[in-house]
Amino acid sequence: MTFIHPELRPPLEAPWSPEWDLALTRARNENTFADQNVAVSGTALHVSRAGEMEIRVWRPTDNQPTFLIYAIHGGGYTAGRARYDDQRNAEMALEFNAVVVSPDYRLAPEHPFPTPPEDCLSGLTWAIQQFPDLPIFLYGDSAGSGLVETVAAWHLDNDGRALAGLICLEPALDPLAGTRSMTTYANGPMWSHEKALRSWECYLGGQHHSELPRLIDRVESENFPPILVFVNPVDPLRDEGIEWALALADVGAKIELHLMQGTYHSALSISGTRTWRRVQNTIHDFIDIFHLSDNRAADPAGTES
């Protein structure tokens, strides 16, 4: 019997289906967030545009931000909106004293690869121009993490400004959906083998998966960023995240892999849970390592005042 942490069980009581129904999923999401009114004390939202794309920017109001978190939403490459993540992004802005920028990229199947990551790369360019002095972390959840990999790979190809790190929750990376966890948790909870296959079909739009850029092919890059990965024990996506992290570790990437007890797909960042607090604390440690590395680069002798 699989273990689900007690605090994470209530969301599983809401209706959901392992079968693919994109129209229903989009309608249900829109209904869920129709009356959302996010108000996290100490934060403010500014809505801007990069070309035709909406960009949502959360920032702390009482302190000068120290970092920029470029947060790409999930949704199986076919659903989701940047505004659906307002609560989480506002909390991150306050928790990490960061500007949190989230692009409302176009979705498959109407806009298959490469349009979604091209939109996200355009949004990243906008963020760099708007906040040129802030270290940048890319953040993604599920398909958002898959887009983080593509955006980071293209950014490295373009010799862009060094990224401080990548933060990838429950990454969706395997178009073949052929791992053991895809069989073990074929019917969820929250995600399924059928949904994975259908979402990849929509996203690729008839293109071969070899067209997707992969970070492992760029690990020798001078600016290759450190990576923080979270996977869930009860998740069809679990093993592809683990295999990705191990493969990157084997070729020398700076990478951390965390598996939180009792979590399932979409459970890592539920507001108000101890699980989300543990994830935040781990991200804090990851950011602190960046600070330490940055300080040592500035003072290689390690002298103290």
Distance in angstroms (rounded) separating the CA atoms of residues 40 and 96: 14
| pLDDT-derived band at 293, boundaries 50, 70, 90 | low
Q: Which tens digit of pLDDT belongs to each residue from 84-100?
A: 999 999 999 999 999 99
- 3-state DSSP of the chain: CCCCCHHHCHHHHCCCCCCCCHHHHHHHHHHHHCCCCCCCCCEEEEEEEECCEEEEEEEECCCCCCEEEEEECCCCCCCCCHHHHHHHHHHHHHHCCEEEEEECCCCCCCCCCCHHHHHHHHHHHHHHHHCCCCCEEEEEECHHHHHHHHHHHHHHHCCCCCCCEEEEECCCCCCCCCCHHHHHCCCCCCCCHHHHHHHHHHHHCCCCHHHCCCHHHHCCCCCCCCEEEEECCECCCHHHHHHHHHHHHHCCCCEEEEECCCCECCCCCCCCCHHHHHHHHHHHHHHHHHHHHHHHHHCCCCCCC
Check whether 2 has a pLDDT greater than 70: yes
The confidence score (pLDDT) of residue 50 equals 94
Percent of the chain with pLDDT over 90: 89
Strand-pair partners of 141 = 169
Q: Which tens digit of pLDDT belongs to each residue from 31-67?
A: 999 888 898 999 999 999 999 999 999 999 999 999 9
φ/ψ of 258, rounded to 5, equals: -130, 135
The confidence score (pLDDT) of residue 16 equals 83
Q: Give Dmax over CA atoms of the chain in angstroms.
A: 61
The confidence score (pLDDT) of residue 17 equals 85
Distance in angstroms (rounded) separating the CA atoms of residues 256 and 288: 14
Check whether 305 has a pLDDT greater than 80: no
Strand-pair partners of 256 = 228
The confidence score (pLDDT) of residue 35 equals 85
Distance in angstroms (rounded) separating the CA atoms of residues 232 and 28: 24
Average pLDDT over residues 151-175: 95
The confidence score (pLDDT) of residue 302 equals 46
pTM of the model: 0.95
Sheet with 43-50, side-by-side order of all strands: 43-50, 53-60, 98-103, 67-72, 136-141, 165-169, 227-231, 255-259
Check whether 299 has a pLDDT greater than 70: no
- Tell which wins on pLDDT, 34 or 212: 212
Check whether 19 has a pLDDT greater than 80: yes
**Which domains does the chain possess?**
6-290 (3.40.50.1820)
What mean pLDDT is reported for the chain? 94
Contacts of 130 (CB under 8 A, 6+ apart): none
Check whether 277 has a pLDDT greater than 60: yes
Q: Which tens digit of pLDDT belongs to each residue from 213-236?
A: 999 999 999 999 999 999 999 999
Check whether 304 has a pLDDT greater than 50: no
Q: Which tens digit of pLDDT belongs to each residue from 96-140?
A: 999 999 999 999 999 999 999 999 999 999 999 999 999 999 999
Average pLDDT over residues 178-196: 97
Length of the chain: 305
Q: Which tens digit of pLDDT belongs to each residue from 251-270?
A: 999 999 999 999 999 999 99
Residue the block writes with tokens 């804090």: 284
Average pLDDT over residues 132-155: 97
The confidence score (pLDDT) of residue 137 equals 98
